[in-house]
Amino acid sequence: MNNKFKKQGLLGALIGKKMLMGITGLFLIMFLVVHCAVNALIFANDGGELFNKGAEFMGTNILIRTMEVVLFIGLLAHAFDGIYLERKNRQARSVKYVSHNPKANSTWYSRSMAILGILILMFLIVHLKHFWWLSRFTDHIAHSEATKLSGQETLFEEMKEVFQNPMVVVLYVAAMFSLAYHLMHGFQSAFQTMGWNHPKYTPCVKQAGFWFSIIIPLVFALMPIALYTGIIK
Amino acid sequence: MAVLDSKIPDGPLETKWSNYKSHVKLVNPANKRKLEIIIVGSGLAGSSAAASLAELGYKVKVFCYQDSPRRAHSIAAQGGINAAKNYKNDGDSVFRLFYDTVKGGDFRSREANVYRLAEVSANIIDQCVAQGVPFAREYGGLLDNRSFGGAQVSRTFYARGQTGQQLLLGAYSALSRQIGLGNVTMYNRHEMIEVVTIDGKARGIIARNLVTGKLERHFGHAVVLATGGYGNVFFLSTNAMGCNVTAAWKAHKKGAFFANPCYTQIHPTCVPVSGDYQSKLTLMSESLRNDGRVWVPKKQGDKRAPKDIPEDERDYYLERKYPSFGNLSPRDISSRAAKEVCDEGRGVGKSGLAVYLDFADAIKRLGKEVVEARYGNLFDMYKHITNENPYEVPMRIYPAVHYTMGGLWVDYNLMTTLPGLYALGECNFSDHGANRLGASALMQGLADGYFVLPYTIGDYLSGEIFTKPIPTDHPAFLESEKAAKDRIEKLLAVKGNKTVDDFHKELGKIMWEYCGMSRNAEGLKKAKQLIKQLRAEFWKNVRVTGGNDEFNVDLEKAGRVADFMELGELMVDDALQRNESCGAHFRVEYQEEGEAKRNDAEYAYVSAWEHTAVDSESILHKEPLVFENVHFATRSYK
Amino acid sequence: MKFNLKIWRQKNAQSTGKMVDYAIDNIDADMSFLEMMDILNEQLINKGDEPIAYDHDCREGICGMCSMHINGRPHGPMHGTTTCQLYMRNFTDGETIYIEPFRANAFPVIRDLVVDRGAFDRIIQAGGFVSVNTGQVQDANNIPVNKADADLAMDAAACIGCGACVAACKNSSASLFVSAKVSQLALLPQGQIEAKERVLAMVNQMDEEGFGSCTNTGACEAECPKEISISNIARMNREYYKATLL
């Protein structure tokens, strides 16, 4: 090859940085499955018993706790890499079109991944403060019903309390819309970026991505609604 | 004919080229590095030559007027490329390809050149496949072939309907590799506007940087023109908008003879003109004539819709006149027949300059699905352009200028009569005689660039190894630059009332009317006067906007049209002196029962014109054509 | 038909441009878009103004030279066509038509609607070829190619290098263009030996030219006049991972 060729690492080019987006994205998708599955235990409607057991397991299992660290690294990598790429991409066109009709060739959410991502990130900060912070770094949350001290609450009780505020419910539901659209593009996009495109399987991936991005956020969104309305007690 | 030495090697036809290659003078690698070659044009011939010469070690500069070498009009060729591979086991051979090409050219081409072309044709396919050109394949993974007009064997290789594109991109990638390696310097958006000669040899060019308008002086030990054909002299043609004769014409004015300018191929199946605003014509593949039937109404001025014209009031004139070949009659014959019926006032469509190509019978016979499978993409293209559905309404077609067989005269080495100046591809005259066969243009361009010039140029450059690069402040460069500059200033200074396109359109009308599909002495004489007048008016009344020191499309066009007008006159002269009908040149005075009548006794020669001065007559030189391996035969398609 | 045209005018690369209004009348529906532009230019010249510079050459959709952004879309409103294949019947009478150059920092404007797409050439020069010299080859049929692969390679090779993919992409990414060439050569046996070097060289050059990255919006595929598939981008990514990881 010509003199331009130099051996380099994976992350040297933008494609490599995109691969990081894809791989962390898929990892976060897997996290969503676990998170959603555990939280869905509240729908057992048993006063949070099953759910609290699940929460206890998640909060104490060493493997899960290790993965929590990996999860944070993944999330931060996804966010910072995304912001870096978005900046780069914006810099690639400094004079904008006067007349622009992008809806003719692409969906609005595929073009808005950065903004959707930032909305999700802002939501995450609130969300982490609501539950994760309390349970990890304060004494406010009991690990289980059995070890509960006075003045402490189980995670389920805390959840019920938080979702008594209608504004919070609205915020959570709105955030799930952001998540849904982020996934709607991100799920299949991650496969494409990873190079997993195949005439036979890509249509299945797209189908799976579509349903995934509806079902997961829907299930999440139903939680605050159910708790707020008292369907779940 | 001492002036024209075609330098054809001695010996039997079959061994001429191999003998030549074994004995041609060589340049050693150390010396190649010191030799600079300028190539103008980046189509099949230019790109392939540039890549091959750079691989050999020469220092190469390439110029093209487009924004990238990949845009050259070779890219538009659809059908395919011929090669005597005999992969089909159907009896093809180098000799047969040679014979078909000479016969198709109506015995007006040079035997030795055509034979060499046929010989290297097989190498072209090997080369292109190695470059990654995605030719059509059979299920076994081997190359597919199809048959094409004028041949009884399947020897045409193709890549969908985009063979020209794929071959050009192959050559472009080879060129790009050399640019990346630093062996070729590429000058995009540069137009050559003058050849520089020193002591009777071509030593460089003056090029205008089309972005800044700056005139640049470039030295070369040799200059190679691969600048394509001059079909745009007709204004309307299937050529790209930018195709022009300027480079070849400037070379002609500096001493390179122009050969057979009157041979212009008119392609029978093009989308007809739809209005005065028409800017170019689009070719429809000839394969349509395999199943379509050509007809016009029997009655003059019949304006009924085609479906309302009953069968017995239609004239399937090709089937009537040429019962054995019918709708598949060769290009020149079909084109002329279409013009005849339109001249009789039986043409169809708004303009009356079109004939029907009807698929109703084919659809009845084969079913719509089969027709769609065969021609679907062409039908879509037609519908897109005309907004008519050819499955329901017959297509309208009309002939259009497509290719120019004439060009700069070259010897066996592809060198023009100006020492050190070479011409390749459509730019030269050498291989197609008076008519070109389908799928042969791509073959010739690549043969010249990959396999001929890299050998033959050594013959000249081996004598140049002691020539140091001449500094471009040499008086000859300054003089040429000044001439170019004066000309530009003259164009800008006219400030008249008519646009460049006005003149170009008028020129085109004259050429099409009198020097198009059929010609006669009276008309040609009239055309000569008309062109002279037009040219005089041009220099008095053209309006060129803007200045020289900027990106100025108007100025570019003006320079090209000025050259076309001079060329047009030479084409007319050439058509007038050739008192016979051969190939694409049809003189109405010379026919027998409505068919072209060749005159081998008096006109079996190449006419090579020497330029004197713009307003003086050019001098005709004749290179006799000697046929030792084929015999004159009359084409008959009745 | 008549139209209000809003066209980007810019004297040269250094100057700043602006949209200028032109009214045009008596336009035939069967006229091509570029013929309408020709008529406008003739009118401008007759008025003593300078004509609008725009790139065009073959006018049959294959050379890739024409490059207009029309009503917010590269090559205008039709699917799978270049600017030169647009006809005025594709617009409605009295419509306002916006005409702008392809926009990307890697495609600087030269004048009016003309941009410099030399970045594409430099990407090909970096590695978009098979390193084979003239004559260094074997018989063509010694390299059999599976028909399906040959067809896919041809699909990718159909790229005309017009730059609509870049113009359509919100990130000005050249991924579709680069991947078309990488794919063509990755699918054929001829290209295998230097596959790793090729993809690295081309991808590096693409980044160096200042194109953005691919976020898989699919705008390129939707606007590509040759309908090149973004599955080629996935293939390029695979080639890149192979080259860096293996």
Asked if pLDDT for residue A75 goes beyond 50, the answer is yes
Alpha-helical (H) ranges within B43-105 are 44-56, 94-104
Task: Judge: A89–C233 Cβ closer than 8 Å, yes or no.
Answer: no
Closest chain C residue to A184, measured at CA: C217
At B553, which helix (H) or strand (E)?
A: helix B553-577
Residues of B in contact with C34 (CB under 8 A): 279
At B40, which helix (H) or strand (E)?
A: strand B36-40
Asked if pLDDT for residue B148 goes beyond 80, the answer is no
Asked if pLDDT for residue B2 goes beyond 80, the answer is no
Retrieve residue B279's tokens.
Answer: 């800017």
Q: How far apart are CA C210 and CA B218, in angstroms?
A: 32
Asked if pLDDT for residue A208 goes beyond 80, the answer is yes
- Distance (Å) of CA A139 to CA A49, A135, A151, A199, B50: 20, 7, 9, 53, 78
CB contacts < 8 A (B, C)? 218
Question: Domains in chain C, please, with CATH?
Answer: 3-111 (3.10.20.30), 117-245 (1.10.1060.10)
Retrieve residue B577's tokens.
Answer: 């002196």
Q: How far apart are CA B524 and CA B534, in angstroms?
A: 15
Residues of C in contact with A202 (CB under 8 A): 231
Q: Which amino acid is residue C178, in one-letter code?
A: V
Report how far Cα B145 is from the mean position of its chain's Cα atoms. 24
Tell me if C52 sits within 8 A of C37, measured CB to CB: yes
At B636, phi and psi to the nearest 5? -140, 130
CA angle C200, C205, C210 (to 5 degrees): 135
Average pLDDT, chain A: 93
List the beta bridge partners of residue B219.
B204
Task: Judge: A193–C240 Cβ closer than 8 Å, yes or no.
Answer: no
Tell me if C61 sits within 8 A of C85, measured CB to CB: yes
Q: How far apart are CA C173 and CA C188, in angstroms?
A: 25
Instruction: Give the burial string for B75-103 (b: 16+ CB within 10 Å, else e).
Output: bbbbbbbbbbbbbeeeebebbbbbbbbbb
Cα distance from B567 to chain A (closest Cα, Å)? 43
Task: Judge: A102–C72 Cβ closer than 8 Å, yes or no.
Answer: yes
pLDDT bucket at C77, cuts 50 / 70 / 90: very high
Tell me if C168 sits within 8 A of C117, measured CB to CB: no
Residues of C in contact with B133 (CB under 8 A): 157
Retrieve residue B405's tokens.
Answer: 């067989």
Tell me if B284 sits within 8 A of B378, measured CB to CB: yes
Residues of B in contact with C182 (CB under 8 A): none
Which pLDDT tens digit goes with each residue over B583-611? 999 999 999 887 889 999 999 999 999 99
Cα distance from A130 to chain B (closest Cα, Å)? 59
* CA gyration radius, chain A: 21
At B492, phi and psi to the nearest 5? -70, -25
Average pLDDT, chain B: 95
Tell me if B487 sits within 8 A of B614, measured CB to CB: no
Task: Judge: A14–C212 Cβ closer than 8 Å, yes or no.
Answer: yes
The SS3 assignment for B38 reads strand
Which pLDDT tens digit goes with each residue over C3-48? 999 999 999 999 999 999 999 999 999 999 999 999 999 999 999 9
Asked if pLDDT for residue B149 goes beyond 80, the answer is no
Residues of A in contact with B181 (CB under 8 A): 2-3
Tell me if B5 sits within 8 A of B411, measured CB to CB: yes
At B414, which helix (H) or strand (E)?
A: none
B177 contact A CB<8A: yes
A2 contact B CB<8A: yes
Q: How far apart are CA B464 and CA B36, in angstroms?
A: 10
Give me the percent of chain A exceeding a pLDDT of 90. 80
User: Per-residue DSSP letters for C4-44?
Assistant: EEEEEE-SSSSS--EEEEEEE----TTSBHHHHHHHHHHHH
Question: Domains in chain A, please, with CATH?
Answer: 14-89+109-229 (1.20.1300.10)
Task: Judge: B181–A2 Cβ closer than 8 Å, yes or no.
Answer: yes
Nearest CA to C32 among B94, B509, B384? B384
User: Per-residue DSSP letters for C101-120?
Assistant: E---TTS-EEETTEE--HHH
Closest chain C residue to B180, measured at CA: C125
CA angle C231, C236, C239 (to 5 degrees): 130
Residues of A in contact with C104 (CB under 8 A): 92-93
Tell me if A155 sits within 8 A of C201, measured CB to CB: no
Cα distance from C46 to chain A (closest Cα, Å)? 29
Task: Judge: B177–A4 Cβ closer than 8 Å, yes or no.
Answer: no
Nearest CA to B331 among B634, B126, B637? B637
Q: Residue A50, exposed/middle/buried by CB under 10 A (0-12, 13-18, 19+)?
A: middle
At B431, phi and psi to the nearest 5? -105, -15
pLDDT for B455 = 97
User: Comparing B321 with C98, which gets the higher pLDDT?
Assistant: C98
Question: Domains in chain B, please, with CATH?
Answer: 266-400 (3.90.700.10), 476-603 (1.20.58.100)
The owner of tokens 């085609």 is B306
Contacts of B592 (CB under 8 A, 6+ apart): none
Task: Judge: C38–B279 Cβ closer than 8 Å, yes or no.
Answer: yes
Task: Judge: A3–B180 Cβ closer than 8 Å, yes or no.
Answer: yes
Give me the percent of chain B exceeding a pLDDT of 70. 99
Task: Judge: A14–C213 Cβ closer than 8 Å, yes or no.
Answer: yes
The owner of tokens 């809806």 is A103
What is the pTM (predicted TM-score) of this model?
0.96
Task: Judge: A192–C211 Cβ closer than 8 Å, yes or no.
Answer: no
CA angle A46, A52, A56 (to 5 degrees): 160
Selected residue of A18, A86, A99, A201 to mutate for chain C interface (largest C Cβ count, 10 A): A99
* CA gyration radius, chain B: 24
Tell me if B38 sits within 8 A of B223, measured CB to CB: yes
pLDDT for B155 = 93
Q: How far apart are CA B457 and CA B57, in angstroms?
A: 13
Cα distance from C135 to chain B (closest Cα, Å)? 7
CA angle C163, C167, C170 (to 5 degrees): 135
Where in the sequence numbering do the catalytic residues of B fall?
331
Which pLDDT tens digit goes with each residue over B197-223? 999 999 999 999 999 999 999 999 999
User: Per-residue DSSP letters for B152-212?
Assistant: SSEEEE-STT-HHHHHHHHHHHHHHHHHHTTSEEEETTEEEEEEEEETTEEEEEEEEETTT
Q: Which amino acid is residue A77, in one-letter code?
A: A
A99 contact B CB<8A: no
pLDDT bucket at B485, cuts 50 / 70 / 90: very high
Strand C3-9 vs strand C18-24: parallel, antiparallel, or unpaired?
Answer: antiparallel
Closest chain C residue to A17, measured at CA: C213
Selected residue of A95, A107, A108, A189 to mutate for chain C interface (largest C Cβ count, 10 A): A95
Residues of A in contact with C203 (CB under 8 A): 13, 15
E strand residue ranges, C34-93: 68-70, 73-74
Give me the percent of chain B exceeding a pLDDT of 90. 88
CA angle C118, A194, A89 (to 5 degrees): 45
Average pLDDT over residues A14-35: 97
Asked if pLDDT for residue B1 goes beyond 50, the answer is no
Average pLDDT over residues B58-65: 98
CA angle B514, B516, B522 (to 5 degrees): 25
Tell me if B171 sits within 8 A of B449, measured CB to CB: yes
Torsion of CA B274, B276, B277, B281, to 10 degrees: 50
DSSP assignment letter at B609:
E
Asked if pLDDT for residue B281 goes beyond 90, the answer is yes
Asked if pLDDT for residue B104 goes beyond 80, the answer is yes
Task: Judge: C72–A99 Cβ closer than 8 Å, yes or no.
Answer: yes
- Distance (Å) of CA B21 to CA B31, B52, B330: 19, 16, 36
Alpha-helical (H) ranges within chain A are 14-39, 49-60, 62-91, 108-111, 113-127, 134-137, 155-162, 166-193, 202-229
Q: How far apart are CA A143 and CA A145, in angstroms?
A: 7
Task: Judge: B71–C63 Cβ closer than 8 Å, yes or no.
Answer: yes
CB contacts < 8 A (A, B)? 7
Residues of C in contact with A92 (CB under 8 A): 104-106, 171-173, 210-212
Q: How far apart are CA C50 and CA C53, in angstroms?
A: 9
At B264, phi and psi to the nearest 5? -125, 125
Nearest CA to B573 among B618, B625, B534, B533? B618
Residues of C in contact with A10 (CB under 8 A): 241, 244-245
Q: Using CB atoms, which chains have 3+ pairs under 8 A with B?
A: A, C
Average pLDDT over residues C85-109: 97
Asked if pLDDT for residue A4 goes beyond 80, the answer is no
- Distance (Å) of CA B179 to CA B52, B53, B636, C131, C224: 12, 12, 50, 13, 27
Which pLDDT tens digit goes with each residue over A92-151? 999 999 999 999 999 999 999 999 999 999 999 999 999 988 888 888 888 777 777 778
- Flag whether the ipTM exceeds 0.90: yes
pLDDT bucket at A7, cuts 50 / 70 / 90: low
Cα distance from A202 to chain C (closest Cα, Å)? 10
Q: Residue A139, exposed/middle/buried by CB under 10 A (0-12, 13-18, 19+)?
A: exposed
- Distance (Å) of CA C97 to CA C70, C92, C93: 7, 10, 11
Closest chain C residue to B178, measured at CA: C125
Which pLDDT tens digit goes with each residue over C108-155? 999 999 999 999 999 999 999 999 999 999 999 999 999 999 999 999
The minimal CB distance from A195 to the residues C77, C207, C234 is found for C234
Task: Judge: C201–A5 Cβ closer than 8 Å, yes or no.
Answer: yes
Q: How far apart are CA B597 and CA B518, in angstroms?
A: 13
